[in-house]
Amino acid sequence: MSSAGSPQVISNLSSVEDDSLLVCEASDDCTHPIDIIVRSSDGVRIGTHKSNLFACSKGLVPATSRLDSFGSSSHTNTLQDVVLPEDSEVIQLLLKFTHYQPQPDLRLIGTNLLFRFANAAEKYCVYSATGVCNIVMEMSMKDQPFEVFQYTSTWGYVGLQEAAAKLAMAQCPAKFFAYAHSINRSEWRDLAEQQTHKLTTKEVCDSLREFCKGSEWPEVFGAWFQKRDTLRSALFFPLNNPIPVLHKGGSARCEEWHSFYPQLLGKMAVEVPCEDKFLSTLESLRPILKDCIHCGMVLKSMKERVHHGLESVVKKPLAEFLNH
Ligand SMILES: [Zn+2]
Ligand SMILES: [Zn+2]
């Protein structure tokens, strides 16, 4: 797998641009002639040297460009631009690593740039950078487990992938669920899926849209939604059927119950159907019952039945809800 986009060669777009003014910015004391110009996705033109790119990377120079002026003297005003899908920050950093010199401390760059750079270094096989990127990515794992999991999955760092997966699954289950599905890791997808039922339908749907291709997400979302629906039914069965507990005077319910119960049903009808939400809603409404011990018994039974009912559905693998 590789990041999207590959280098393209285009003719110099503007005759106004004077390539002879381009200097190598990758190194303070570089004296090599500029014989190739790289244009970043944000439109910055950066001059560098084919020999360094050939020696320290793979794929940064498209095949069509290798045939022309490699090895010849620099005629910078006739150079073609190699357009890369990466932005200028990433390219400038990549080019530093194609020069023989002390390299920047990658622990000091922002996390977002680090991820972009680490992916580009892997994509173009800039081996002078990939090893140190891997170490710094591991250091970032606690704070950014999902991004590290994506990186390890894309580039095959299996050992680091396991550790990142555990953290990412706990920290951002919806994203992890969707991404694991998109890379066909159904065992991880199903583990994460069990954590997603504390989240809103919208959160899960948005993650699936973001990470799965057009034809993939509706089917898995359908299965997920069916499971959520089954969870809602499992929650509402004990809610709709509270056990009768005789109060003083022989009535099945007290006055307080008639005020408490419709509110419980009303709140849970619009809440995420999970045990945590049920318990917190119950506690928030409990003062209405004024410590009625008979109603307390009803709630105790309800809690146990909700727990068992939800647990039996949560454990079911998502595959049972998929149509194939
Ligand atoms: Zn240079
Ligand atoms: Zn009561």
Ligand at shortest distance from the CA of 245: 2
pLDDT digits (tens, 9 = 90+) for 12-59: 555 445 666 688 999 988 999 999 999 999 999 999 999 999 999 998
Ligand 1 centroid to residue 20 C-alpha, Å: 14
All residues at 6 or more sequence positions from 60 whose CB lies less than 8 Å from its CB, including other chains? 7, 38, 53, 82, 84, 94, 124
Q: Hey, what are 233's tokens?
A: 């039914």
Checking if the pLDDT of 70 tops 60, the result is no
The residue ranking higher by pLDDT, 61 or 196, is 196
322 pLDDT band (50/70/90 cuts)?
Answer: confident
Residues counted in the chain: 324
What confidence tier does 289 reach under pLDDT thresholds 50, 70, 90?
very high
Residue 33 Cα, ligand 1 centroid: separation in angstroms? 8
Q: What percent of the chain has pLDDT over 70?
A: 90
- List of long-range contacts for 204-213, beta carbons under 8 Å, 24+ apart: 204/174, 204/177, 204/178, 206/174, 207/174, 207/175, 207/177, 207/178, 207/179, 208/177, 208/178, 208/181, 210/175, 210/178, 211/175, 211/178, 211/179, 211/181, 211/182, 212/178, 212/181, 212/182, 213/182
Between CA 92 and CA 102, with CA 96 as vertex, the angle to 5 degrees is 145
Q: State residue 69's pLDDT score.
A: 43
Taking residues 49-76, report their average pLDDT: 69
Cβ-in-10-Å burial (0-12, 13-18, 19+) of 214 comes to exposed
Ligand 2 mean position, distance from CA 289 (Å): 6
Of 91 and 72, more confident: 91
Secondary structure, 3-state, 282-315: HHHHHHHHCCCHHHHHHHHHHHHHHHHHHHHHHC
∠ Cα 243 244 249 (to 5°)? 160
Structure tokens at 64: 């069509």
Average pLDDT over residues 59-88: 66
Q: How far is the CA of 148 from the centre of ligand 1 (A)?
A: 31
Q: How many angstroms is it from 233 CA to the middle of ligand 2?
A: 26
Q: What is this structure's pTM?
A: 0.79
Cα of 302 vs centre of ligand 2, distance in Å, is 14
8-10: strand order across its sheet: 8-10, 81-83, 36-39, 45-48
Average pLDDT value for the chain: 89
Cα 120 to ligand 1 centroid, rounded to whole Å: 19
The region of weakest confidence among 84-88, 114-118, 172-176, 315-319 is 315-319
Asked whether residue 3 carries a pLDDT value surpassing 90, the answer given is no
For residues 209 and 239, the answer to whether their CB atoms sit within 8 Å is: no
